Structure 1
């Protein structure tokens, strides 16, 4: 069962290496049980390697935890990066929404990892969220410089709000489903959320035209 769970990690080109198996094992442990459960021995047992090999590749437990955090940030960066310079700002946002949604649907452990890192209040989680806000701020600064987004009164504060809005369906799914009487497993309900988010940001940040939320 553990090995099957590890296979739910996001796939990247290096995922057949021993180092990647160790990282995937740590990712699964953190997602399911938190950072405290991801001891060197537990990681090694899950990856089916020796503890000494874990230390050889990463130096310490913290080294593995940091590698997982960087890896997840890179994966999210890949799926939320603008890939079509011709797309309008609202359409580009909708596409980022879709790619993030698909990734968290296809890789359930990713959502679990995000909830652990962002809701447990650990030092690792605090630092991970700060890095997420850094990335959001950089993207917003770029869009403002290009004239795509309206200038913000406080760019970093706005960037943090954008990050929270993007993570909301993962972090607050049961609360949103209860309050809105919807089911995020249902494509029509997910489309409603995407359309409302895109419309909100189009009015607030991206005034150069909105788009209707088309079927995925």
Structure 2
């Protein structure tokens, strides 16, 4: 299992967690230093002492989520597939409390560091998988990682709809037990066979050359 962030026992961490909540509930523009300070149980002056500005506080929130993502990725790589840990559940436990922040920030065009880190890690995983493929991908690694990151984060953005459709909160421990096999099934059973995909690619190429 992933260990806690060493910062999590400090006043700085309480401020960060309060900011994650306020930014998620109210959005970055409407959230205030005073409200964040009240929730954290500190003075507005201490918030400014630690972070300087609301923008820097938002950056710290993003950096915290990036570190959490890196720790989970490192743990998956260290443990492999034989450890029996449901990493969908681990991810949900880490990021679930901040779902509103992630969803709102992404929809507002923010949280770029989190998105970019997911793209970076996605490229690493895809590069390793590509080496084992008999049908090598046609498109650039980064392009596929960018779209893959968007697909992965869509569950956080569409959390309520996904949970409603599956009949369980997908960020809860029970929801993770439902979601994990669905994701495995989708990844292991693509919609198109290699032959069908080749036919569609051929048609796209022909359509693009009509003019």
Q: TM-score, normalised by structure 1?
A: 0.67
Question: Aligned-pair distance for 1:85?
Answer: 4.8
Question: Aligned-pair distance for 1:190?
Answer: 4.6
| Aligned with 2:148 (options 150, 162, 170) | 162
Provide Cα deviations, 1:1-21, integer angstroms capped at 9, x if missing partner.
xxxxxxxxx953222222222
Question: Aligned-pair distance for 1:192?
Answer: 4.4
Provide Cα deviations, 1:123-161, integer angstroms capped at 9, x if missing partner.
x335543343233324433x2476489754222222233
Looking at structure 2, the residues matched to 132 and 42 of structure 1 have their Cα atoms a distance apart, in angstroms, of: 31
Contact preservation (8 Å) 1:25, 1:43: yes
Tell me whether 1:111 sits opposite 2:104 in the alignment: no
Q: Which one has the largest radius of gyration?
A: 2
Q: Which residue of 2 aligns with 1:194?
A: 180
SS at match of 2:8: coil
Q: Which residue of 2 aligns with 1:133?
A: 119
Tell me whether 1:39 sits opposite 2:32 in the alignment: yes
Looking at structure 1, the residues matched to 63 and 103 of structure 2 have their Cα atoms a distance apart, in angstroms, of: 16
Q: Which residue of 2 aligns with 1:76?
A: 69
Q: Which residue of 2 aligns with 1:4?
A: none
Looking at structure 1, the residues matched to 187 and 27 of structure 2 have their Cα atoms a distance apart, in angstroms, of: 33
The unaligned stretches of length 5 or more in structure 1 are: 1-9, 205-216
**Root mean square deviation of aligned Cα:** 3.5
Looking at structure 2, the residues matched to 111 and 157 of structure 1 have their Cα atoms a distance apart, in angstroms, of: 25
Kindly tell me: are residues 201 and 33 of structure 1, through their superposed partners in 2, closer, same or farther at Cα, counting changes over 3 Å?
same
Number of equivalenced pairs: 186
Looking at structure 2, the residues matched to 35 and 156 of structure 1 have their Cα atoms a distance apart, in angstroms, of: 29
| Aligned with 2:169 (options 160, 184, 207) | 184
Question: Aligned-pair distance for 1:197?
Answer: 1.6
Q: Which residue of 1 aligns with 2:19?
A: 26
Kindly tell me: are residues 144 and 97 of structure 1, through their superposed partners in 2, closer, same or farther at Cα, counting changes over 3 Å?
same
Contact preservation (8 Å) 2:63, 2:113: no
Looking at structure 1, the residues matched to 135 and 169 of structure 2 have their Cα atoms a distance apart, in angstroms, of: 30
Looking at structure 2, the residues matched to 156 and 145 of structure 1 have their Cα atoms a distance apart, in angstroms, of: 13
